[in-house]
Amino acid sequence: MSDVTPAPDLDDPATDPSDVARAAAAYIAQATGVERHHVALVLGSGWGGAAELLGETVAELPSHEVPGFAAPAVVGHVGTIRSIRIEGTDRHALVLGSRTHLYEGRGVRRVVHGVRTAAATGASTVVLTNGCGGLNPAWGPGTPVLISDHLNLTATSPLEGATFVDLTDLYSARLRAVAREVDASLDEGVYVQFRGPHYETPAEVRMAGTIGGDLVGMSTTLEAIAARHAGLEVLGISLVTNLAAGISPEPLSHAEVLEAGRAAGPRISDLLAQIVRRL
């Protein structure tokens, strides 16, 4: 794409981040040949293979070639953006195979650039997935849980200036009902975002529970806020990959996270595909 104006710099405070999102969407449309995407999915830890059953992959781009996207920084995260034609439909899903986390220190604009880009490609729905710790001892590693609401403990927002956005029903009750049509056994819970990259202390996990949290993680809430601001309907699904610190006597490990994702792969792939077909 040497014949187009370079995208504005996301890190320049004078840049409007939605301009970079529009540049990214234009790049994606050109590179995939898909004019409009209808739904976007962000794949978190454990969800890497979960888009396989959605349909035929029309195009796959290395994320860092798309304006505003950074290369992924975590082992087990996949740095590609795929366009998938949703099986049995003429609709397309934009699959963001990696995310930028707040703890990477690249700024909150970078964290939410994917969902802003999704909105700019025409998507009306975003499915935000993540791997997280669970506070409910009944949720063993590999349990998918619908996000009903969140507690944003990052002390930041993706919105700049006096941008007041209503977050009542941020995690769409309608979409949660669609997910439960697919799997009536799905539980739901309140997701608490910490900045990370360290996991919580047992006292922090107790605090999360005391203030109403059920799930602890390092992503999703800022993306959900930006998604709502951009007009997207949000479905959030967590994969509990470990019991939160102090809930079980075992220490936490990234290897455990990856293994829980592998073991849950077939169930969450099928779940995601069936939900997306109903969107």
Report the interface residues with ligand 8IG, using CB under 6 A.
Answer: 45, 131-133, 194, 196, 199-200, 216-218, 241-242, 244, 252, 257
Is 101 labelled as part of a ligand binding site? yes
| 129 vs 148, beta carbon nearer ligand 8IG | 129
Is 100 flagged in the annotation as binding? Answer: yes
As given in the structure block, the two tokens for residue 52 are 């396989």
Question: Among all residues, whose Cβ is closest to ligand 8IG?
Answer: 133
List Cβ<8 Å contacts ≥24 apart for 208-214: 208/135, 208/151, 208/244, 209/135, 211/151, 212/151, 213/135, 213/151, 213/189, 214/134, 214/135, 214/136, 214/145, 214/189, 214/190
Q: How far does Cα 252 stand from its chain's mean position? A: 22
CB nearer to ligand 8IG: pick between 27 and 199: 199
Tokens standing for residue 236: 């959030």
Q: Least separation, in Å, of the C-beta of 134 and ligand 8IG?
A: 8
Alpha carbon of residue 9 to chain centroid: 23
Nearer to ligand 8IG, 218 or 232 (CB): 218
Q: Out of 35, 104, 200, 250, which one is annotated catalytic? A: 200
In angstroms, give the least distance from the CB of 197 to ligand 8IG: 9
22-41 residues labelled b (16+ CB within 10 A) or e (exposed): bbbbbbbbebbebeebbbbb
Residue 200 catalytic? yes
Does residue 242 have a known ligand-binding role? yes
- Shortest Å distance, C-beta 65 to ligand 8IG: 27
Q: Is 77 annotated as a binding residue?
A: yes
Residue with tokens 């949290």: 213
Q: Which residues are catalytic?
A: 200
Which residues are annotated binding-site positions for phosphate? 45, 77, 99-101, 131, 219
